[in-house]
Amino acid sequence: VSAAERALADRDLEGLNVVVTAGGTREPIDAVRVIANRSSGKQGHAISEECVRRGANVTVITTTELPTSSTVDRVQVETAAEMQIALDNVAPTADIVVMAAAVADFRPKDSVDGKIKKAGGVPEVILEPTPDLLEAIGRNRQPHQTIVGFAAETCDLVTNARSKLARKCLDLVVANDVSAEGVGFAHGTNAVTLVSADGERDLTLRSKAEIAVGVVNEIVRIRTSMRSVDVGRVSPTN
């Protein structure tokens, strides 16, 4: 069925290299406890499958156990540090990078190899910031690349997304209000606002597969617009 869908789909990503991150990182406190978040990875995986359907060569860097198509290059990670290593290996040669993963902002400064016992009393867990993976991708981007970030918010959705777009040198931010019913973490549905340099576009509540179609459509639109601008800058020759 997947092969038939790929054959019938628009092939507007044919031959492009796409990297998608998915899921929430898990930062160890000790051998059994972690600091994590509510991300299921469903939206990132849906975007990766839509990119496959449209002809891309896709690498998924994921923290989840969700299945991927047989043609996807899958990299399994758990922590922000592991995701950073994986991105360093594949992002520089990608045409499109979609940072859908919910990367922890903080991790324990010192994790314990064994299990912390309750009898020892309440432990003090000192946190340190994790690397800002999205900012690094934006800062080191190549001219041909399209970089997409995500913003899970509970207020000031567009304002926060537009700030992230500028600060991190992105082409598109996919923003959602995770406090809204049926939106965001763990749900099969989502509703997002696509924020780019030339405006905002709302995708109302629908399945995450349908959201993925809208996100990829917007990526294609932005890349087409960028190519048009580049062509317009070429000086005619005699």
Residues catalogued as catalytic? 37
- Provide the token pair at 91: 């992002």
CA 87 to chain CA centroid, Å, is: 12
Please state, in angstroms and as integers, the Cα–Cα distance from residue 119 to each residue in 33, 115, 116, 122, 203, following that order: 16, 11, 9, 9, 51
Closest CA to 97 of 158, 174, 159, 25: 174
- Provide the token pair at 105: 């902002």
Phi-psi region of 233 (alpha: psi -120 to 50; beta: other; left: phi over 0): alpha
Torsion from C-alpha of 182, 174, 107, 121, nearest 10 degrees: -20
90 and 46 Cβ atoms separated by less than 8 Å: no
